[in-house]
Structure 1
Amino acid sequence: MQEEKVYIQLKKKIAVDKQHLLILKDVAFVTGNIDYLEQLETLKIYQITEKDNNVSVIDGFQLLDTLVEAYPFLSVELLGANQVIVEIKKNDKKANFFLILFIWMLLCIGSAMAIMNFHYDVSMEEVHQGLYFLLTGEQKDKPLWIQIPYSIGLGLGMILFFNHIFKKRFNEEPSPLEVEMFNYQQDLDHYLIYHENVLNKRDDS
């Protein structure tokens, strides 16, 4: 007789509504050689409550314990990650136009000040004047035909560097900002998993 066996691969992160009852197919991909696979996928795993706040973590061993209790003769193999991060959706609020405008102006002014201070520190005006003198042999306080293309090129360079202009992407390569955001999200997920495991150990003790 062939052994009844299922393979479970936990999802890395899911998002659910408040008070959602998590079932197996919500938190994992399931396959196997059993006839009751669809029934297994609807196995109740965890009930989201108010105590979970914004995030909860489902541990693989917790999942296996539930499976063994419900199906004691089923052979289960856990693949991949050992935890699932469950984000609990908040009530969507309408964006405040004036708040967005204020933040946009704050970022714009801050970026402009940073660029201006950088150019002042490296004496960019004197560099342009020296470049103008090398090319023409004349001294000029405001070599606009160098400064204007330089300013335009600075803006175009920023657009190409971040690989975006509004919502349009130039190619599939991620921008440095997207890479940094991805790394930050990875670190945040690792912290949530570690923090949740520490709390569980304290509760158990």
Structure 2
Amino acid sequence: MENTIYIQMKHRLTIKKGAIVRLSDMAQVIVPEEMSNLQELVVLSNTSEVEKKFIVLDVMNVINKIKSRYPDAEIQVIGPSETIFEIVKKRKTAPSFLFVLVWLLLFVGSGMAIMNFHEETSMQTMHQKIYWMMTGKMNSTPFIVQIPYSLGLGLGMILFFNHLFKKRINQEPSPLEIEMFNYQQDLDQYVVLNKHKESTKYSDDH
């Protein structure tokens, strides 16, 4: 139909505090040519007044604003029925010494965790037994076993996280990325269920 408007809202958007959000920013919209100015319809403003981190904009608020401009329009909604806006503030760049300090703490902490694990599981004794099974001799420091094991441990961590520094090894997501994705999904569901706001508070009459 000539007056039909199709809207597909985005699931999540990150915006700066105080930003003005237009319809084209938060949804894919197909409109008749004579309604092309609808793309610039302001759906959120006054976001500088938002104290919390999230705003949930329901599709009904969007439909009401469209109807106020084009009462006879037929609106078809495809996909999500709400968009989650995450309000972010401008962050100051952390000092380089702080980055180095955090890196050292993580490095030392992870190293101690690995050493404690090996101590509790008697890994050195296990290596000595492996060396005895391979050579028939006892050796208190079987480096021929320990060195390949240490290299393999590091290689296994690289393969597990699927990253070598900033370079991705392959296109498959790592287990950590899967867990982060699941966490993000749970967080979004929580926000929708528990922080649903009256978005008209941050709307205007545009």
* Fold match (TM-score > 0.5): yes
Is the contact between residue 128 and residue 146 of structure 1 (CA under 8 Å) also seen in structure 2? yes
Matches within 5 A, 1:52-71: 52-71=51-70
Matches within 5 A, 1:3-42: 3-32=2-31, 34-42=32-40
Identify which of 42, 47, 52 aligns with 1:44: 42
| CA–CA distance in structure 2, aligned partners of residues 78 and 55 of structure 1 | 23
| CA–CA distance in structure 2, aligned partners of residues 29 and 44 of structure 1 | 14
Instruction: Return 5+ residue gaps in structure 1 as ranges.
Output: none
Give the match for residue 162 of structure 1: 161
Do structure 1's residue 80 and structure 2's residue 92 form an aligned pair? no
Task: Give the partner amino acid of 1:40.
Answer: L
Task: Give the partner amino acid of 2:177.
Answer: E
Do structure 1's residue 144 and structure 2's residue 149 form an aligned pair? no
Instruction: Return 5+ residue gaps in structure 2 as ranges.
Output: 202-206
1:71-91 per-position Cα deviation (integer Å, ceiling 9, x unaligned):
110000111111111122311
Task: Give the partner amino acid of 1:135.
Answer: M
| CA–CA distance in structure 1, aligned partners of residues 195 and 65 of structure 2 | 19
Higher relative contact order (CA 8 A, sep 6+): 2
| Distance apart, 1:127 and its partner CA | 0.8
Matches within 5 A, 1:165-204: 165-197=164-196, 200=198
| CA–CA distance in structure 1, aligned partners of residues 139 and 117 of structure 2 | 22
Task: Give the partner amino acid of 1:20.
Answer: A
SS class of match (1:49): helix
Task: Give the partner amino acid of 2:153.
Answer: L
Is the contact between residue 31 and residue 37 of structure 1 (CA under 8 Å) also seen in structure 2? no
Give the match for residue 112 of structure 1: 111
| Distance apart, 1:65 and its partner CA | 1.5
The sequence identity of aligned pairs, in percent, is 43
1:159-203 per-position Cα deviation (integer Å, ceiling 9, x unaligned):
111110110111101111111111111111111111222x55xx9
| CA–CA distance in structure 2, aligned partners of residues 192 and 96 of structure 1 | 32
| Distance apart, 1:3 and its partner CA | 4.4
Task: Give the partner amino acid of 1:128.
Answer: H
Is the contact between residue 3 and residue 75 of structure 1 (CA under 8 Å) also seen in structure 2? no
Is the contact between residue 16 and residue 90 of structure 2 (CA under 8 Å) also seen in structure 1? no
Is the contact between residue 9 and residue 80 of structure 1 (CA under 8 Å) also seen in structure 2? yes
| CA–CA distance in structure 2, aligned partners of residues 110 and 36 of structure 1 | 63
Aligned-residue CA RMSD (Å): 1.7
| CA–CA distance in structure 1, aligned partners of residues 29 and 163 of structure 2 | 38
Which consecutive segments of 4 or more residues in structure 1 shift more than 3 A?
none
| Distance apart, 1:52 and its partner CA | 4.5
The alignment's TM-score, normalised by the length of structure 2, stands at 0.89
SS class of match (2:195): helix
1:96-150 per-position Cα deviation (integer Å, ceiling 9, x unaligned):
2122112111111221122112211221111111111111111111111111111
Which sits farther off after the overlay, 132-141 or 179-188?
179-188
